[in-house]
Structure 1
Amino acid sequence: MRRTDGALPLHRDPDTEHIRNQLARLDDAVHGIEPSLPRLRLDEGDILVLDNYRCWHGRDGHTGERTVRILTARSAEAG
């Protein structure tokens, strides 16, 4: 499950109200646990490697310059 602030029902979905209610429930659950989630700070030269399919991740706001380089690697298990 991926959660973004831009998640919306599909255009003219007949279950729009149900989907909006489910998204609101998900938002409430996520915001409820966010304060207890682990946080880490990356310093200049640090690297973070994670599996996007197994790790629910995000980042807090920041100031200053930010450089992101993305490398995608697939394993045989990825199919």
Structure 2
Amino acid sequence: MVRRTDGAVPLHRDPDTDRVRAMLTRFDETVHALEPTLPRFRLAEGDILVLDNYRCRHGRDAHTGERTVRILTLRTADAR
């Protein structure tokens, strides 16, 4: 997973705040360590990327320029 948010924080008044913060720090450090080894590819104009969000952890690098995103959600009887 490449993209992550700095907004992940323990819930308000969580009695286990210190543990949650430690786990978030561990997660962030692990992601940073793995980023250089992750496969990268570029989509060309007109390309389509289809992902199964139940089976695939994914992210993207920052980009510049115009970007159009259209999301189509397909749900099958297997999605439970």
TM-score normalised by length of structure 2: 0.89
Deviation, 1:4, is 2.9
Instruction: String of CA shifts for 1:25-72, please: whole Å, max 9, x gaps.
Output: 011111111110011101110000001111111111111000000001
Cα distance in 1 for residues equivalent to 2:4 and 2:11: 15
Partner of 1:59: 60
Cα distance in 1 for residues equivalent to 2:79 and 2:62: 31
TM-score normalised by length of structure 1: 0.90
Cα distance in 2 for residues equivalent to 1:78 and 1:8: 29
Which is bigger in relative contact order (C-alpha 8 A, separation at least 6)? 2
After the TM superposition, list the runs of 4 or more consecutive aligned residues in structure 1 that deviate by more than 2 angstroms: none
Partner of 1:4: 4
Please report the RMSD computed on the Cα atoms of aligned residues, expressed in angstroms: 1.2
Q: Can you give the 5+ residue segments of structure 2 that lack an aligned partner in the other structure? A: none
Q: Can you give the 5+ residue segments of structure 1 that lack an aligned partner in the other structure? A: none
Cα distance in 2 for residues equivalent to 1:35 and 1:55: 18
Say which structure is richer in helix: 1
Residue type matched to 1:27 in 2? D
2:51 is paired with a residue whose SS is coil
How is 1:1-79 mapped onto 2 (pairs within 5 angstroms)? Answer: 4-5=4-5, 6-79=7-80
1:76 is paired with a residue whose SS is coil
